[in-house]
Amino acid sequence: MKAVKIENLSVYYGQTKALENVSMEVEEGEFLGIMGPNGGGKSTLLKAVLGLIPTTTGRILVYNKDIKENRSIIGYVPQFATMDKRFPISVFEVVLTGCIRKKISLFHKYSSKDRELAYEQLNRVGIAKLANRQISELSGGEFQKLLIARALAVQPKLLLLDEPTASVDAKSRDQIYELLGELNKEMTIILVTHDMMAISSNVRSLACLNGDLTYHGELELNENIVNKLYGCPVDLIAHGVPHRVLKQHRR
Ligand SMILES: Nc1ncnc2c1ncn2[C@@H]1O[C@H](COP(=O)(O)OP(=O)(O)OP(=O)(O)O)[C@@H](O)[C@H]1O
């Protein structure tokens, strides 16, 4: 079963090209890492899969259905920088919003089942004790875990994460990777990251985006591909991690 099927996707924001003719398939149960330079179209790809932005050309199927019919099976962890932490809402309330299946109404009432589910997710990501805190009082790592808990409250089959370890310390980062490894036993994961540690520890296949799809395949890149993608491979070697992502190369 294909979790995601993308055919000839192009996205333009006015005159700006974000993605050009991208086609790829993601198998159910896969843990796909998406890398690429700033502005390479990684976030755009996730948003297109979610149906959040209009596509210029192409077609996207999620578990064989148009996204409009299947959005409820996707959990999304947006880029940290796009969230406003000053909003006056508690940690628990944020996770609860993930439980809303249909359109939210002004006086939406959550069931006790929703509350249970929300609490379970906070427990799962390890911040249940912060349930009543205002989100403005969270650290970067705690906030990222909250965003993951909210995405999990959807009970997704497909989890999309946009740089979930940006602005978190090393300990929280390790905890998040460990959690993602566990979650991958239950759901398909697509992770946008610049972090080679993430790529080395969890990810099973890799896609590289630089406007177009430069690479999609196994977790071993050759020098050619990396050069094309970033210009220089030197910074991309995952030092001190169990698996080298890149083959040895000459400087
Ligand atoms: N809402 C928007 N309006 C206009 N242009 C946009 C918009 N969103 C993204 N772009 C442009 O589209 C291109 C791809 O952006 P995108 O955010 O998808 O890249 P990215 O690979 O996620 O980058 P980063 O690593 O910096 O997060 C960039 O040139 C960006 O400036």
Task: Please name the fold of domain 2-83+156-236.
Answer: Rossmann fold (3.40.50)
Whose CA is closest to atom 6 on ligand 1?
13
The number of the ligand 1 atom at minimal distance from the alpha carbon of 40 is 21
Report residue 113 as tokens.
């089942």
The answer to whether the CB of 43 is under 6 A from ligand 1 is yes
Does this model's pTM top 0.80? yes
Average pLDDT over residues 19-34: 95
Element (H, E) at 215: strand 212-218
Residue 145 burial (CB count, 10 A)? 27
Task: Give the pLDDT band (50/70/90) at residue 38.
Answer: confident
pLDDT in tens, 75-99: 999 987 666 778 889 999 999 988 8
The answer to whether the CB of 82 is under 6 A from ligand 1 is no
Task: Give the pLDDT band (50/70/90) at residue 243.
Answer: very low
Predicted local confidence at residue 227, as pLDDT:
63
Integer Cα distance of 171 and 222 in angstroms? 31
The answer to whether the CB of 156 is under 6 A from ligand 1 is no
The answer to whether the CB of 211 is under 6 A from ligand 1 is no
Average pLDDT value over all residues in the chain: 84
Please state, for a pLDDT cut of 70, what percent of the chain lies above it. 82
The answer to whether the CB of 94 is under 6 A from ligand 1 is no
User: Which residues fall within 8 angstroms of residue 174, CB to CB, at 6 or more apart?
Assistant: none
The answer to whether the CB of 38 is under 6 A from ligand 1 is yes
Integer Cα distance of 234 and 226 in angstroms? 10
**12: CA distance to ligand 1 center in Å?**
10
Q: Highest mean pLDDT: which of 11-15, 109-113, 213-217?
A: 11-15
Is residue 136 predicted with pLDDT exceeding 50? yes
pLDDT in tens, 144-190: 999 999 999 999 999 999 999 887 888 999 999 999 999 999 999 99
pLDDT in tens, 59-76: 999 999 998 888 889 999
Interface ipTM: 0.97
Whose CA is closest to atom 2 on ligand 1?
13
Integer Cα distance of 22 and 11 in angstroms? 9
- 10, 22, 38, best to mutate for ligand 1 pocket (most atoms within 8 Å of CB): 38
Q: Do 98 and 156 form a contact (C-beta atoms < 8 A)?
A: no
The number of the ligand 1 atom at minimal distance from the alpha carbon of 194 is 25
